[in-house]
Structure 1
Amino acid sequence: MTAIIFSDYRLICGFMDDCKNDINILKCGSIRPGEKDAHSQGEVVACLEKGLVKEAEENDPRIKVSDECKKAILRVAELSSDDFHLDRHLYFACRDDRERFCENTQAGEGRVYKCLFNHKFEESMSEKCHDALTTRQKLIAQDYKVSYSLAKSCKSDLKKYRCNVENLPRSREARLSYLLMCLESAVHRGRQVSSECQGEMLDYRRMLMEDFSLSPEIILSCRGEIEHHCSGLHRKGRTLHCLMKVVRGEKGNVGLNCQQALQTLIQETDPGADYRIDRALNEACESVIQTACKHIRSGDPMILSCLMEHLYTEKMVEDCEHRLLELQYFISRDWKLDPVLYRKCQGDASRLCHTHGWNETTSDLMPTGAVFSCLYRHAYRTEEQGRRLSRECRAEVQRILHQRAMDVKLDPALQDKCMIDLGKWCSEKTETGQELECLQDHLDDLVVECRDIVGNLTELESEDIQIEALLMRACEPIIQTFCHEMADNQIDSGDLMECLIQNKHQKEMNEKCAIGVTHFQLVQMKDFRFSYKFKMACKEDVLKLCPNIKKKVDVVICLSTTVRNDTLQDAREQRVSLKCRKQLRVEELEMTEDIRLEPELYEACKSDIKNNCPNVPYGNAQIIECLKENKKRLSNRCHQKVFKLQENEMMDPELDYTLMRVCKQMIKRFCAEADSKNMLQCLKQNKNNEVMDPKCKQMITKRQITQNTDYRLNPVLRKACKQDIPKFCQNILSTAKDDAELEGQVVSCLKLKYADQRLSPDCEDQIRVIIQESALDYRLDPQLQMHCSDEISRLCAEEAAAQEQTGQVEECLKVNLLKIKPEMCKKEVLNMLKESKADIFVDPVLHTACALDIKHHCAAIPPGRGRQMSCLMEALEDKRVRLQPECKKRLNDRIEMWSYAAKVAPAEGFSDLAMQVMTSPSKNYILSVITVSICVLFLIGLLCGRITKRVTRELKDR
C-alpha cells in the first residue's frame, strides 16, 4: 500500500495542497512531456527536494520553497527513510547499484540507504545514483529524522539530554549539526550515550567530512575558494582538506565567512574525538598509525596526539603530515575539539576562566583560543602566585603546548599577531620550526603585540623546554644519557635546559641538538625573563639593584658588579641574595662558552673574527681563544674588550672556559679544595708535577705568558707588589693605557729591583717565581721575546723548537752573548745574567748542575739575596773543595759572562758594584786592597793630626 501511495505524490495526504504553488514555480509538474513512466510522479518529489536543497546552497531569492511545502517535503523524506523502495526517484536511479554493492543487504530500517552511502565514492557508482544519494544526504543534514536509523537509535538520548525539537533555539530546524553537537556535548561531559546512537553519530559525522556539498554553508561561503584552488577534488574529503590548506595560508587567501564555515563544520563533525571521521586523514595516515600508534585502540582520541608526537620523524609520511596539520589548525582554535583536553580541564576552565559548560552558543561568545590561553597562563603558576590547574589538566595543557610548538600556525594568537612580521622577517624560513626561531632572532624588531606573544612563549619555554618538541627530539640521546632525571620530572623549572647546556660538548651530542641549545641560549640573552631559574632566583634583586634593565647580559653585569664591589669593600652584608648569587654564577659560567653570549664583545670583534678566525667554531670558547692568540692583530676596540675579558678571567679563573675544560681532571686531582679565585695559582704550583696532563700544562703556560705581559693580569702579583710598583716603576705607569698591555715592562722593572734586592718580601717572593719560570721558558718573558725574536730564530732555532722548554733558549742566548747584535736584545740577556747573580734558583741550568754541591757545601745557608751563589763561588776558589765537574764548568762560564757583562754594562749603583765584587774571581784581592786602604787612611789621620786649624768656641757658636 505504501509503495502505491509513494509512487504518486498526489496520493500523499496534504502534500498537493502544501506544495501546489511551489511545483508550479519550480516547474516540477511536467518533467518529461509526452512520456508517462510508472515512476514519473516520483520525479516531482525529487524536483522539489532539489529545489529545497538549492535554496539553502545558493541563497537565490528566485528559488524559494514555502515553509509549508518545506515541511511536507521533509515529512515525505522522513516517511520514506525506512525503506529505500519508497523513494521512487532514488530507487530507480540506484537499483543497479544496489544489486552491485548491497546485494546481501536486507531492505528496511534504512539499511540499504546506509549501504549505498558507504559506497557513494566508488568508481563504479553510477552518476545518477550518486546525485540521488547526495540529495538524500543533504535532506538528512537539514532534518536528522530523514535518517531512520539515526532517529531511531538516538531517540531516547535526544530526549534525555534535551536535544529534541522542542528545545531548539527559535527559528532553527531539527538540523543534523545541532543534534550532533548536542549529543557530542553530552559525551564530552562524561554522560552516557547509547552505543547504537554513538555508532550512528560516527557514521554521519564521517559523511559530513567526506562530502563538502552536504554542508550548505560551505557551498555558500567557499564557492570562490573551491573554484580557484580546489576544483576537481570532490572525493573522500579532499575538497575540505584543500580548503583547510588554503585557510592555513599555503595556497592563497581565504574569506572570513569561508573560514568560519569550515570551523563550524569541524565543530559539528568533531574529528578530534575519532580520527576515522576524517576519511582523508584516515587513509593518508593508516601506515603511520599501524607502525607508530598500534598500541592505541582504534578510534581513541589519543591517536591524533600520537600522530602529532611523530610529526617530522622518520615514521611520518608526507601526505599524512599535511592532512594532520590541516586538521590540527582548526582543532587548535577551539579547545573543545580536543576531547581529552576538554574532559580533563572543563572543571578548571569553569573555575579559572569563567566558562560554564560547553554548548553551541559558547563558541560564538568566546574569542579564538581564549580558553586555552587562560589555561596555560594558570598552568605555570607557582603556589605563591595563587590558583593553579589540577595535575591532570596541567599535563594536557603541556601536551598541547608541546604539539603546537611544531608549527606556528597551530598557535592562533601567534599567527594572528605575527602575520606581518612573519612575512617581513621570516618569508624564507620554510624548514620545520624555523619560523618561531626566526621571530625570536628578530625579537627587538617585531611589532609590540607580536613581541609580547613571542616573549611570553619564550618565557614559557625557559620553564619547560620540552615545549620545544623538535629540540627535544634532536636531543633525545643526550637526554637519555645525562639528563633523564630532569626529563622525567613533571615540573621542569628550567633544569633540563641547564643540563643540556652543561653537556653541550659531550661526544654523544649531535649537531642539531647543539645548534638548538645554543640558539636558545642566544635568545635568552635578549631578556633575563627568558632564563627561568635566573628570573626566579634574582627577580627581587633585579627590581632592587638593577631596575629598568631588560637584557640578560646587562642584568648579569649589573649584579656581578654589585657582588664584586661588596666583596672588595668587605661589606658587612652582601646586597645580592645568596640564592641569586648561586644562580648568577651559573649564568656567568654559561656565558663564557660562546662569544655570541657576550654581545658587547661579539659586536666589538665581529670584523676581527672574520679576518683572524674565519673557520673557527663558536662553541667551546674557541673563537675567544683564537682572539686571545691573535691579540696583537686585533682592532683597538676589540683588543680593549679582550683585555678586559682576560683581566676578569685572571681575577676569577673559573670564568676561563678553555682553562677549566682542558684542565678539568687536573683541577680535580690537585685543586679540588682550592678556592675558585686561586684556581690558576694552584695549577701553576703543580704545573711541573710528573702526572700533570701535557695539554693542561700547555694551557697553564699560555695563561702565564698572558699574565707576564701585564701585571694587571696577575692579581696575586698586583696585590703583593702594590707598594713596590708605584715606587720603582712610576715612569712606566705614567705612560700606560687602561686597556692595553704593557708588554711585560712592569714585570721587567720589578725583576731588576729584585736583582738589586730592594723589593718588599711579598713582592720578592712573587718575582722570584716569575724569574724562575721565565728562566725555564723564554716565552714567559715578553720583553725578551719582543726584542730577541730574530736572534732566537738565528742563533737558537733548535732550542726554541723543543717541545719541552727547560731553559735551553736562555742558556743559548747567554752563551752567544757576544754574537747578539741588537742592543735591546743584548740588554735583556744582560738583565738575565744580573738576575741570576741574585739567586741561583733563578738560573735553572746552573741550579740543576750544582744541586748536589749546594746540598753538600751550602745546605746551612738560606736561599735568596745571592747567599747560596756566594757560597758556591767561595767553594770554587777553595782548593780543598771539589765541586762536580758540570757545576764547576757552569760556574766558570757564568764568571766569564758576568765579567763581560760588567764591561758592557757598568754598575749602576753601589749594590751593583758590591755584587760585582762579591762575584769577581779576584774578590779576596779586591777586598784586601779596600781594607788596607781604609787602614792606611785611619793611620794617617791618627799620626798626622788634624788638617784644619783650631778655632775658639765663640766663633764656632756664631
Structure 2
Amino acid sequence: MHLSFSEGRDFKAGVMKPSHLCKEEDTEIAADCNHLLWNYKLNLTTDPKFESVALEVCTSTMLELKECADEERGKGFLMSCLVDHRVNVTERQCHQYITKMTSIIFSDYWLICGFMDKCREDINTLQCGSITVGEKDLHSQGEVIACLERALVREAEQQDKAHQIKDECKKGIMRVAELSADDFHLDRYLYFSCRDDRERFCENTQAGEGRVYKCLFNHKFEEAMSEKCRNALTTRQKLIAQDYKVSYSLAKACKADLRKYRCNPDTSMPRAREARLSYLLLCLESAVHREHLHHPFFSCLYLSSSSQIIECLKENKKQLSQVCHQKIFKLQETEMMDPELDYQLMRVCKQMIKRFCTESDAKNVLQCLKLNKNSELMDPKCKQTITKRQITQNTDYRLNPVLRKACKADIPKFCQSILNKASDANELEGQVISCLKLKYADQRLSGDCEDQIRVILQESALDYRLDPQLQVHCRNEITRLCAEEAAAQEQTGQVEECLKNNLLKIKQEECKTEVLNMLKESKADIFVDPVLHTACALDLKHHCAAINPGRGRQMSCLMEALQDKQVRLQPECKGRLQDRIDMWSYAAKVAPAEGFSDLALQVMTSPSKSYILFMIALAVSILFLVGLLCGRITKRVTRELKDR
C-alpha cells in the first residue's frame, strides 16, 4: 500500500488519533494493533518529491557523484547517498538543500538509505516498531534506532538471551550512528533524552565536531545528570567501542595515521570487523612497529577475538602517533570512569562480578573486583585482567578516579611541578603517585588520600609491575639481578625483596633511589614490606596487637621488642628485622633526611632510638642549665651596674 506524503500526514492526523479502536480496556494501544499501525505507517514514507527536488538543485553534484546518480529511484536511496557525501558537495543550493534534508532524514529513520530493507526483520523480532500516541510521534524521535542500538549492545556484551541482529542491519545501525557523530542533534533519541542536561552542563558548548557529545560524556556521572541521558550516553560510548567512526574526534584525530599506514577499509572484510576501534588501532600499531621498531613478527592480527586485540593494543599504545595516542588515552580514562564500557573486563569477569559485586554500582565494579582480587574464589583469568587494569591505573593518576577524588587537594599541593610538565598526550608514568608515596612516608597527606596511597603501596609491594617508576628505572637491574624472581610472577614481593638485598650491587642511580624510597616507605607502614610482615605476623599479633597500623607505629613496636631482652621474637622475624636495620642504616648514609618529619621518622625507627633520645634529652638539659646560669649572671651584672 502506498500513499502520497500529504496523504501520510492526513493519515497521522486523522487515523492515528482515534486509537481507541485498538485499545485494551481504555488504557493503551494493544500490542498487535500497535505494531500493525506501525507497519501501515511505514508504507507511507516513500515520497519521490525529495528526489525530484534534489535532481533539480544538484545537477553538477550528480555528475560528480556517480554512485548517487546510479541509485535506484523511489526508495529514498538517492537522498541518503547525497547526505552521506554532503562534505564533498560544493554546489551552494545543493549543499543548502542537503543540510535541511539531513534533519528530516535523521528524524524519520526509514528515510535512511536502505535501513528498512536491512532491519525490517530485526525490528519485528525485537518489537522496536511500537507506536505511542501523544504530543510526539516517538518514531520521529529516534526510538526505533535507540531500541536497535540497545539490542546491538546487548549482543556485543554476550548478555543472556540476546537477539542476534543480522549483519546487514548491524551495518545500518552503525552507519546511522556514524552519520550523527559530528552533530548530536542528529542522534534524535540522545538529543531528546539530554536536552535539559545539555542546557545544564553544556550551555556554552557549540554544536558540531562532536563537541556536545564530549561535554556530556565529561559530566556523565554528575549527580544532576538525568538517568535517561546517562543511559543514552552509555549506549553511544559502547557503539564507539564497536566502530571508531561513531566518535567524530577519534576518527578525525586518526585520519592522518590511517592514510600514512594505509589502514583503509578492506572491501573484502565484513564491516563488522573493519569498523571496530580495535581493527583501526591494530593497523596503526602494527604499521608503527614495522616502521620504527622493526619487529616483523609482532602483530596483534593473530589474536582470536576483538577484545583480545583491544587488550594487545592498549598494552602497546605508546607506539601510536601522538594525536591518536591521546584519543586512546582518553578512551581508557572513560573506561576507568565507567567499567561497563570495558568489554574485556566485563566479559572475562562476568561470573566474578555476579559473585562479588552484585550490590556495587556500575561505575564501582572495578574497585569492587580489586578489593576481592586475592580471594581464593577469584577466577585466575579475571585476576589477571584486574592486574592489567591496576597497572594501567598506576601509570597515571587520571586513570584512577577513586585516587583522583581522594587526593584532589594533595596532588596540586605536593606535586605541582610534575603537573606543570604533564600533557594530555602522554601518561605520567606514575610520577604523581610516586610523589604522593613520598609524602605518605613523611606523614603529610590528608586522611582520604593517605588511605588510597596505602592501598597502592600494599598492592605494588606484592607486584613490582604495579610500580611504573620502579619498572622504568630498574628494568635492566631486575633483568640482571632478579631475573628468576621476575619470571616466577608470584606476586609475593620477591622482586622487591631481591632488589633490597642487592642494593649495594645496583649500578643505576635512579634505580637505587627507587629502592631507597621503598625502604623509606616500609618504615612508615610494615604492610608495605610483605616479606617482613609475613615473617613477623605472629610477633605483631602477640606484641603489637593494640597498635594501629601506619605512620611507623607497628614498626616502632617491633623495634622496641627487638631491643627488649625479655621479649623473644620469632627467629625469622628477628633476622629480617636485623636485615632491615642494616638497610636503613645504609639508606640514612646515602640519602640523608630531607626534613624534620623525615628525621623524626628515622630516629623513631632507629635501632639506637633510646640512646639517641637520651642524648637529645641530655643536650637539651645542658642547654637549659647553661641558659639558666647565663641568665643569672646577666641579671647579677645588670644589678651591679645600676648600683654604681
TM-score by length of 1: 0.51
Q: Which residue of 1 aligns with 2:509?
A: 823
Distance 2:128 2:588 in 1: 73
Q: Which residue of 2 aligns with 1:810?
A: 496
Q: Secondary structure at the match of 1:751?
A: helix
Distance 1:650 1:595 in 2: 18
Asked if structure 2 preserves the Cα contact closer than 8 Å seen for 1:546 and 1:555, the reply is no
Equivalences for residues 267-278 of structure 1 within 5 A: none
Note the alpha carbon deviations across 1:251-297, whole angstroms, 9 max, x for none.
xxxxxxxxxxxxxxxxxxxxxxxxxxxxxxxxxxxxxxxxxxxxxxx
Q: Secondary structure at the match of 2:550?
A: coil
Asked if structure 1 preserves the Cα contact closer than 8 Å seen for 2:403 and 2:452, the reply is yes
Asked if structure 1 preserves the Cα contact closer than 8 Å seen for 2:238 and 2:341, the reply is yes
Q: What are structure 2's unaligned runs of at least 5 residues?
A: 23-32, 133-138, 159-163, 259-280, 288-299
Offset, 1:851: 1.7
The answer to whether 1:612 aligns with 2:285 is: yes
The answer to whether 1:427 aligns with 2:38 is: no
The answer to whether 1:693 aligns with 2:379 is: yes
Asked if structure 2 preserves the Cα contact closer than 8 Å seen for 1:379 and 1:388, the reply is no
Distance 2:63 2:103 in 1: 19
Picking from 202, 213, 219, the partner of 1:556 is 213
User: In structure 2, do the counterparts of structure 1 residues 752 and 372 end up closer, same or farther at CA, with 3 Å as the change threshold?
Assistant: same
Amino acid at match of 1:498: E
User: In structure 2, do the counterparts of structure 1 residues 385 and 697 end up closer, same or farther at CA, with 3 Å as the change threshold?
Assistant: farther
Q: Which residue of 2 aligns with 1:766?
A: 452
The answer to whether 1:372 aligns with 2:372 is: no
Offset, 1:895: 1.9
Picking from 114, 118, 122, the partner of 1:470 is 118
Asked if structure 2 preserves the Cα contact closer than 8 Å seen for 1:593 and 1:620, the reply is no
Q: Secondary structure at the match of 1:503?
A: helix
Equivalences for residues 14-25 of structure 1 within 5 A: none
Q: Which residue of 1 aligns with 2:174?
A: 518
Amino acid at match of 1:469: D
Equivalences for residues 772-811 of structure 1 within 5 A: 772-811=458-497
Picking from 47, 51, 54, the partner of 1:417 is 54
Distance 1:795 1:645 in 2: 37
User: In structure 2, do the counterparts of structure 1 residues 832 and 942 end up closer, same or farther at CA, with 3 Å as the change threshold?
Assistant: same
Asked if structure 2 preserves the Cα contact closer than 8 Å seen for 1:537 and 1:580, the reply is yes
Amino acid at match of 1:445: N
Distance 2:218 2:403 in 1: 23
Amino acid at match of 2:214: I
Asked if structure 2 preserves the Cα contact closer than 8 Å seen for 1:593 and 1:657, the reply is no
Offset, 1:758: 2.2
Q: Which residue of 1 aligns with 2:88?
A: 445
Offset, 1:586: 3.6
Distance 1:715 1:382 in 2: 54
Asked if structure 1 preserves the Cα contact closer than 8 Å seen for 2:62 and 2:69, the reply is no
The answer to whether 1:745 aligns with 2:386 is: no
User: In structure 2, do the counterparts of structure 1 residues 684 and 383 end up closer, same or farther at CA, with 3 Å as the change threshold?
Assistant: farther
Offset, 1:489: 4.6
Offset, 1:902: 2.0
Q: Which residue of 2 aligns with 1:499?
A: 150
Q: Which residue of 1 aligns with 2:296?
A: none
Distance 1:543 1:381 in 2: 32
Q: What are structure 1's unaligned runs of at least 5 residues?
A: 1-340, 343-370, 405-409, 568-573
Distance 1:917 1:939 in 2: 25
Q: Secondary structure at the match of 1:427?
A: helix
Offset, 1:952: 3.4
User: In structure 2, do the counterparts of structure 1 residues 413 and 908 end up closer, same or farther at CA, with 3 Å as the change threshold?
Assistant: closer
Note the alpha carbon deviations across 1:806-853, whole angstroms, 9 max, x for none.
222211211111111010110000000010011101112221222222
Q: Which residue of 1 aligns with 2:272?
A: none
Amino acid at match of 2:545: A
Note the alpha carbon deviations across 1:433-470, whole angstroms, 9 max, x for none.
99777555424435444665676445433699995223
Asked if structure 1 preserves the Cα contact closer than 8 Å seen for 2:244 and 2:251, the reply is yes
Amino acid at match of 2:39: A
Identity %: 55
Q: Which residue of 1 aligns with 2:236?
A: 587
Asked if structure 1 preserves the Cα contact closer than 8 Å seen for 2:393 and 2:399, the reply is yes
Picking from 36, 39, 59, the partner of 1:395 is 39
Distance 1:536 1:933 in 2: 76
Q: Secondary structure at the match of 2:521?
A: helix
Q: Which residue of 1 aligns with 2:292?
A: none
Q: Which residue of 2 aligns with 1:871?
A: 557
Q: Which residue of 1 aligns with 2:606?
A: 920
Aligned length: 566
Distance 1:799 1:440 in 2: 60
Amino acid at match of 2:193: A
Amino acid at match of 1:395: N
Asked if structure 2 preserves the Cα contact closer than 8 Å seen for 1:744 and 1:782, the reply is yes
Distance 1:562 1:594 in 2: 23
User: In structure 2, do the counterparts of structure 1 residues 590 and 938 end up closer, same or farther at CA, with 3 Å as the change threshold?
Assistant: same
Q: Which residue of 2 aligns with 1:486?
A: 127
Distance 1:423 1:895 in 2: 85
Q: Which residue of 2 aligns with 1:599?
A: 248
Asked if structure 2 preserves the Cα contact closer than 8 Å seen for 1:620 and 1:658, the reply is no
Q: Which residue of 2 aligns with 1:96?
A: none
User: In structure 2, do the counterparts of structure 1 residues 489 and 819 end up closer, same or farther at CA, with 3 Å as the change threshold?
Assistant: same
Q: Secondary structure at the match of 1:895?
A: helix
Looking at both structures, which has the greater relative contact order when contacts are Cα pairs under 8 Å and sequence separation is at least 6? 2
The answer to whether 1:884 aligns with 2:577 is: no
User: In structure 2, do the counterparts of structure 1 residues 533 and 731 end up closer, same or farther at CA, with 3 Å as the change threshold?
Assistant: closer
Q: Secondary structure at the match of 1:801?
A: helix
CA RMSD of aligned residues (A): 4.5
Asked if structure 1 preserves the Cα contact closer than 8 Å seen for 2:157 and 2:347, the reply is no
Amino acid at match of 1:557: K
Offset, 1:632: 2.9
Q: Which residue of 2 aligns with 1:104?
A: none
The answer to whether 1:905 aligns with 2:554 is: no
Amino acid at match of 2:485: E
Q: Which residue of 2 aligns with 1:9?
A: none
Q: Which residue of 2 aligns with 1:186?
A: none
Distance 1:431 1:693 in 2: 54
Distance 1:773 1:396 in 2: 62
User: In structure 2, do the counterparts of structure 1 residues 717 and 529 end up closer, same or farther at CA, with 3 Å as the change threshold?
Assistant: closer
Picking from 109, 114, 124, the partner of 1:461 is 109
Q: Secondary structure at the match of 1:952?
A: helix
The answer to whether 1:851 aligns with 2:519 is: no
Distance 1:487 1:852 in 2: 64
Asked if structure 2 preserves the Cα contact closer than 8 Å seen for 1:414 and 1:454, the reply is no
Note the alpha carbon deviations across 1:791-820, whole angstroms, 9 max, x for none.
122222232233442222211211111111
Equivalences for residues 81-92 of structure 1 within 5 A: none
TM-score by length of 2: 0.73
Offset, 1:939: 6.2
User: In structure 2, do the counterparts of structure 1 residues 873 and 547 end up closer, same or farther at CA, with 3 Å as the change threshold?
Assistant: closer
Q: Which residue of 2 aligns with 1:862?
A: 548
Structure 1, 717-726 or 816-825: larger mean CA deviation? 717-726
Asked if structure 1 preserves the Cα contact closer than 8 Å seen for 2:77 and 2:113, the reply is no
User: In structure 2, do the counterparts of structure 1 residues 377 and 548 end up closer, same or farther at CA, with 3 Å as the change threshold?
Assistant: farther
